[in-house]
Structure 1
Amino acid sequence: MSSLQNALEYYQALVGSEVGTSSWVTIDQPMVDRFAQCTGDAQWIHTDPGRATAETPFGGTIAHGFLTLSLASSFASECFQPRPGQVMGINYGLNKVRFITPVRVGARVRGKFALQGISVRSDTELLRETLLTVEIEGAEKPALVAEWLGISVFRD
């Protein structure tokens, strides 16, 4: 049996279940500032703690939604180990993303993954559909939910 076929069977058994939860990551102001500088998004609600405390309902600065989403790859690397014969994983995109709760600077977040589907894309590739939920420690609602697509490439 090929490594792709073995991986397909492995993932098929996991469809509909939670497959992993990452470690907590603290969102601090230097991280937010670096993201703002890198992306050119220096809106004051992210980069000016004094003004954000005085003028927003958040009590201080908040992380960019896209910063929170960008942590997905790091979270996934903890939760999805390469299968035997897998030579790489490729981000294929997102079907849907919803930013539900702002992440206040100083908060901790983590990723939780549930496998929604797996299919054969080619004779060397599997397409994995995953529901990502980024939780905020102590918060009732998540920071975001996303339907994330990833390709696993195999070589025997």
Structure 2
Amino acid sequence: MAQEISLADVPSLVGQVLGISNWITVDQQMIDKFADATLDHQFIHVDPERAAAESPFGGTIAHGFLTLSLLSAMNFDCLPKIREQTMGLNYGFDKIRFMSPVRCGTRVRGHFTLSGCRFRGAGMLMTTYDVSVEVENEKKPALTANWITIVQFDPKDRPPEV
């Protein structure tokens, strides 16, 4: 995929995989910082010894919301930049499913397929991505989701054909 595309290119890309991110290692330090930020200190996330002894995971696992939040970094890593974009906004998710745990020390990466787009108002493009987070050496993804974002742009840059 090109590093940069124009607004006019986006509709023709619906249905295509637009990017697969680089791998990100989810280590205990990342999990602990997320636990501190969200006040979620459940033992399966922050206590390696207890998680190994009392959980089915063999050790600590990442919070599902930590894995979800990594989509932002994965997005910036692999999706083409839209030349006319002045700002991007996270609009939300239609569906999120946490399919399998992310064990501490494993690597994850995001897969992004553009599943829809539509121009809204004079200077906004709403995009929908089918995303999944792959866990290295695992068959099932950590999560799947339908992610909606908004690309803002100067109305003068709106493609004439839309």
TM over 0.5: yes
* 8 Å contact from structure 2 (residues 22, 78) kept in 1: no
Equivalent residue for 1:120? 119
| Matching of residues 4-153 of structure 1 within 5 Å | 6-7=6-7, 9-153=8-152
TM-score by length of 1: 0.93
**CA shift at 1:11, angstroms?**
1.3
CA drift at 1:58: 0.6
Any stretches of 5+ residues in structure 1 without a counterpart? 1-5
Aligned AA (1:141): K
Inter-partner Cα distance in structure 1 for 2:140 and 2:83: 36
Following superposition, the deviation at residue 70 of structure 1 comes to: 0.4
Which residue in 1 is equivalent to 2:160?
none
Provide the rounded CA distance (Å) in 1 between the counterparts of 2:79 and 2:153.
15
Q: CA deviation at 1:39?
A: 0.3
The residue matched to 1:112 in structure 2 has which SS? strand
Equivalent AA in structure 1 for residue 16 of structure 2: S
Moved over 3 A (4+): none
Measure, in 2, the Cα distance between the counterparts of 1:83 and 1:146.
22
Q: 2: CA distance between counterparts of 1:76 and 1:56?
A: 32
Superposition deviation, residue 81 in structure 1: 3.2
Q: Residues of 1 paired with 2:79 and 2:110: CA distance?
A: 12
Give SS of 1:50's match: helix
The SS at the match of 1:97 is strand
Structure 2 runs not aligned, ≥5 long = 1-5, 158-162
List per-residue Cα deviations over 1:35-81 (Å, max 9, x = no partner).
Answer: 00110000000000000001111110000000000001100012223
Is the 2:18–2:80 Cα contact (8 Å) retained in structure 1? Answer: no
In the TM superposition, residue 12 of structure 1 has moved relative to its aligned partner by 1.3
- Residue 140 (structure 1) shift: 0.2
Shift of 1:33: 0.4
TM-score, normalised to structure 2's length?
0.90
- Identity over aligned residues, as a percent? 50
Supply the RMSD in Å over aligned alpha carbons: 0.9
